[in-house]
Structure 1
Amino acid sequence: MSVNRDVTVLQEARVSFCGNTAVLLDAEGPLTLATQERIWRLSDTARQWEGVVDTQPGMNSLLVVVDPKTADLEALAARLGETWPAVPSGRIEGRLLEVGVVYGGEGGQDLPEVAAFHKCTPADVAKLHAAPEYTIFAPGVTAGFGYLFGMDPRLFTPRRQVPVMRALGGGVSIAGIQSNLGKPYVEGSAKAAPTGWYMIGRAPDVPSPFDFDKTPPNLVSLGDRIRFRVDRVEA
């Protein structure tokens, strides 16, 4: 499935203060690849400004962290809002990573529940989930991976109202219109954690997303793409 580009990218954005050390820009409008690409470009630009120590792109948003001793927070907020309309759009070509997935079974125990919600079979869910090419939109909770955009809207599944405990380690999950890929299990770390997402599969051979011995250390970066491959569907 291709990402819809027939959208209007609104020029207005909301800028707010986060304490005395950060400014948050929220882009108005729906979540689209065109808007997110502009967020990434603005992040690269703002990172070069005097007094800025870090930038963190989010979904339709950008957090700019500053050194309060050297940065004028109000001036920076104004500059951020003034710069946004001039940020160019255009495709940022990223790398492509293919990931084999075992849908259902151990580690994908929520697949039957998702299939029942959509009134289809587990195999249908796996096919729909693996069909599109996903783009990494924003950093995730795991260093080196991020939140994925591009899922078929027919798989929209509301997040759980009450989190459940699920095993960690190469999990493939969905919630809302997003998908996620978990890092491999690391010996000695927690084996399970609460989540509002639905675990529909596991990627047994998912590479480590972050390795200091490699250059760059991130397996994938913002704008890179992931394609899932259905290795098999288990009951």
Structure 2
Amino acid sequence: MADTGLSFIGSRALLFQARCSFDLPHQQRFWALADEAASWAEVREAVPGMTNLTLLLHHVPTNVDDICNRLNSLWNSGVRKEVAGTLLEIDITYGGPGGPHLEEVAELTGLSVSEVIQRHSEPEYTVFAVGSHAGYCYLGGLDPRLETPRRKVPLTHLPGGSLSVAGLQTGVSASAGPSGWNTIGSADVTFFDPHRQPAALLRPGDRIRFNPAEVLA
């Protein structure tokens, strides 16, 4: 049984966390928690994150212990939500100006550049959560051989569509911004469009496959 905790992240927002493995079965439990908690009268929105769940409430809670007990009971039940999801295939340009750290990742992992690309493009990734910035997808399924540390000096500006890796995670930035991850490629994809309904292209449970369309030195 994993350790859990509930904390305030605002006067009307609670964060439920579990110390558990970073894998699909545990993430499916958070999806199930989100669905159930979203039906509670005091909850305005339930947002699953990476090994956590954020509850946005209508009012300042008067009985946090009750909410905590209900969440713990649901978590300990082990119920999971399985989602077939849609599959999105994304063409990637590995290396070049849009992937300046590809060779560095190869050095860090002891693999050749071609092996890094092969191992990165082989899996079918699952969207574990959507967040960080609008439309960004946290993905599960990265080959453990591609695990790398975050950069000691973060980049102050990374273009939208940048493909990066760090730790056991990988993802494509949905908009421009700073990043401490290792950028190995780029894609032409719009993950978030406020004029689209829904605005976010993917949801938890959807899947992504990266196609190595081009490799630049």
Q: TM-score, normalised by structure 2?
A: 0.90
Residue 102 of structure 1, CA deviation: 0.6
In structure 2, relative to structure 1, the CA distance for the partners of 1:210 and 1:195 (3 Å cut) is closer
State the alpha-carbon separation in 1 of the partners of residues 67 and 76 from structure 2.
Answer: 15
Aligned to 1:225, which of 207, 210, 213?
207
**Which residue of structure 2 lines up, in the alignment, with residue 5 of structure 1?**
none
Q: 1:197 aligns with which of 173, 177, 181?
A: 181
5 Å-filtered alignment, 1:8-27, equals 10=1, 12-27=3-18
Amino acid aligned to 2:53? L
Residues 95 and 101, structure 2, Cα contact 8 Å, conserved in 1: yes
The residue that corresponds to 1:234 in the other structure is: 216
1:12: how far off? 4.9
Aligned partners of 1:23 and 1:65 also within 8 Å: yes
SS state of the match for residue 93, structure 1? coil
Amino acid at match of 1:38: R
Cross-structure match for 1:4:
none
Please report how far the alpha carbon of residue 70 of structure 1 lies from its aligned counterpart in structure 2 after TM superposition: 6.5
Answer yes or no: is 1:94 the counterpart of 2:78.
no
Q: Is the 8 A contact 2:149 2:166 kept in 1?
A: yes
In the TM superposition, residue 217 of structure 1 has moved relative to its aligned partner by 3.0
* Structure 1 contact 22–63 (Cα < 8 Å) conserved: yes
The residue aligned with 1:157 is: 148
TM-score scaled to structure 1, two decimals? 0.84
> Aligned-pair distance for 1:74?
2.8
The amino acid of 2:97's aligned partner reads E
- Coordinate RMSD, CA, aligned: 2.0
Is there any run of 5+ residues in structure 2 with no aligned partner, and where?
none
Matched to 2:144, the amino acid is: P
**For 1:135, what is the secondary structure of its paired residue?**
strand
- Structure 1 stretch displaced more, 121-130 or 12-21: 12-21
Structure 1 CA distance for aligned equivalents of residues 50 and 161 of structure 2: 23
Cα contact 1:130–1:229 (8 A) shared by 2: yes
Q: Deviations over 1:188-235 (max 9, x none)?
A: xx6xx43210110001x32x2233444433211111000000112111
Which residue in the other structure is 1:3 paired with?
none
The alignment-based identity, stated in percent, is 40
Tell me whether 1:112 sits opposite 2:103 in the alignment. yes
Q: Counterparts in 2 of 1:1-235, with a 5 A limit?
A: 10=1, 12-69=3-60, 72-89=63-80, 91-183=82-174, 193-203=177-187, 205-206=188-189, 208-235=190-217
